[in-house]
Structure 1
Amino acid sequence: MTAMDLSRRVIVALDFDTAEAAAAVVERLGEAARSYKVGLELLTAAGPALAAGLADAGKDVFFDLKLFEIPSSVAAAVRAAGRHGATMVSVHATAGARILEAAVRAAAEFPRLRIVALTVVTSLTAADLAEVGVGATTGEQSARLALLARRAGCHGVVAAPHEAAALRRLLGPGQLIVTPGVTLPGGPGDTDHARPAHPVAAVRAGASHVVIGRALTRTPDPAAVLAGIIGDLRAASE
């Protein structure tokens, strides 16, 4: 695996409320970062211009939209993301097969665009699932929704690192497994994720991509942190 491959597998989450703050991190990372996640916070605060600029610069851009709407609205949102240069868009697997299929059909208009189905949000626990009437563990629910997503033609799933190994066995080698909720020892605290893991552990378990935000972007030298992650992944793959 080349260094370029590894750098594209580490998705830097631009979880900021202004375009200026996000752009400052992008500038500091320079050529070291090849993949970015742009989520609801930044898109709502600043619009899609920064994301489109990243795509124009040759970066992979994950539009983490977590879409859950009627099929026509989801398809329209996927097309809009594709026109802005997105290479990945997330859709809630809980939305069901018809909505996932609509997203996949819309993405087919853009050769590089992939649909990943969000299984169980990384902040949720079994108790949270029970609260909304789901009588399964997070692992069981992730597996159920991953199979639904594969049948609907999705290119992969979004899941917590702790589910990656089971999902890789279930889905086989061809599907993407995108894992938010990765953490770094001594990095800024992040209490949003209930089921975190180190990037190397996530990739060893079967993740195709790891998403990392505050533990990298809020550090004094994010480029050095990113280089360390890629170095750890390279060493683990040898």
Structure 2
Amino acid sequence: MIPIIALDFPSKTEVETFLSPFQGQSLFVKVGMELFYKEGPSIVHYLQEQGHQIFLDLKLHDIPNTVERAMENLGQLGIQMTTLHAAGGTKMMAAAKRGLEKGAKKAGVRPPLLVAITELTSTSQEQMNEEEQVPGRLQDHVLHYASLVENVGLDGVVCSGWEAESIHAHCPKLCTVCPGIRFQPTNDDQVRVLTPTEAKEKGIEYIVVGRPITQAKDPQQAYQNILEA
């Protein structure tokens, strides 16, 4: 199981402050929309210069042609992982994979893992049924998306830890990337959460941890606690 630190900060200045105690360590870090929209590709280059691996989490979701061309640009950045929404459908996912591979080939780098968002960890059963008007159980809906992702040939899915075991059983080719990792229950916007120990027991390949590390009094110790767990 590999922990990924979510750098959910508004700008590079806060990232530099947070990473300063980790000087000399090679981390796997997530750059999301907030940070990327502020700093652009330069934040990716900065983190690579510091020796870190990058999960660029932009959750693309658009018509296939637009996503393919966007992924071609992302494929040239030398990142290790990126995302799109499975809700965009199989044509969009296939186009994304083509674009990513084309961009990586153009830049002479290895294509990053391409993983698809199933349902956000902030989504509850009630929200899916009542607001999204999707009937049935949330877990069944996630498994349906996972099957589409596997059939298209993507590398994995982003899901909550609650669905990881079922995905491994039904879609053995996929890796699972799970946010919503907490040391204890919280009142924040994550609904479907697990502890690091529970995540390991479920065979999850990657866990994404943000606030439990970035907002800790001692982020280095919090990160170490994740590794030990």
TM-score, normalising length: structure 2: 0.91
Q: Could you report, residue by residue, the CA deviation over 1:94-114 in whole angstroms, capped at 9, with x for unpaired residues? A: 100000001111222322411
Deviation at residue 51 of structure 1 after TM alignment:
1.8
CA contact (8 A) 1:117 1:156 kept: yes
State the partner residue of 1:52.
Answer: 45
Deviation at residue 122 of structure 1 after TM alignment:
0.5
1:160-179 matches, within 5 Å, as 160-172=160-172, 174-179=173-178
Distance 1:20 1:193, change over 3 A: same
State the partner residue of 2:140.
Answer: 140
Greater shift in the superposed pair: 128-137 or 210-219: 128-137
Q: Could you report, residue by residue, the CA deviation over 1:40-68 in whole angstroms, capped at 9, with x for unpaired residues? A: 11111222212222234442211111110
State the partner residue of 1:17.
Answer: 10
State the partner residue of 1:93.
Answer: 86
**What SS is found at the alignment partner of 2:223?**
helix
Report the aligned-residue RMSD: 1.7
Deviation at residue 33 of structure 1 after TM alignment:
4.9
State the partner residue of 2:107.
Answer: none
One-letter identity of the residue aligned with 2:183? L
CA distance in 1: counterparts of 2:179 and 2:204, whole angstroms: 10
Distance 1:33 1:57, change over 3 A: closer
Deviation at residue 194 of structure 1 after TM alignment:
0.7
CA distance in 1: counterparts of 2:203 and 2:136, whole angstroms: 22
TM-score, normalising length: structure 1: 0.87
**What SS is found at the alignment partner of 1:124?**
coil
CA distance in 2: counterparts of 1:215 and 1:223, whole angstroms: 11
CA distance in 2: counterparts of 1:206 and 1:17, whole angstroms: 32
State the partner residue of 1:215.
Answer: 212
CA contact (8 A) 2:75 2:101 kept: no
**What SS is found at the alignment partner of 2:148?**
helix
Deviation at residue 200 of structure 1 after TM alignment:
2.0
Distance 1:32 1:57, change over 3 A: closer
Deviation at residue 220 of structure 1 after TM alignment:
1.9
2:65 aligned to which of 64, 72, 79: 72
CA distance in 1: counterparts of 2:197 and 2:222, whole angstroms: 14
Distance 1:163 1:31, change over 3 A: farther
2:19 aligned to which of 19, 26, 29: 26
1:43 aligned to which of 24, 36, 40: 36
One-letter identity of the residue aligned with 2:101? A
Deviation at residue 79 of structure 1 after TM alignment:
2.1
State the partner residue of 2:191.
Answer: 194
State the partner residue of 1:225.
Answer: 222
CA distance in 2: counterparts of 1:161 and 1:127, whole angstroms: 18
Distance 1:207 1:195, change over 3 A: same
CA contact (8 A) 1:177 1:209 kept: yes
1:204 and 2:201 aligned: yes
Distance 1:147 1:100, change over 3 A: same
CA distance in 1: counterparts of 2:25 and 2:219, whole angstroms: 10
Q: Percent identity?
A: 28
Distance 1:97 1:193, change over 3 A: same
CA contact (8 A) 2:118 2:142 kept: yes
Deviation at residue 190 of structure 1 after TM alignment:
5.5
Uncovered stretches (5+) of structure 1, i.e. residues with no partner? 1-5, 233-238
Deviation at residue 22 of structure 1 after TM alignment:
1.5
CA distance in 2: counterparts of 1:137 and 1:27, whole angstroms: 44
CA contact (8 A) 2:29 2:52 kept: yes
State the partner residue of 1:125.
Answer: 124
Distance 1:33 1:220, change over 3 A: farther
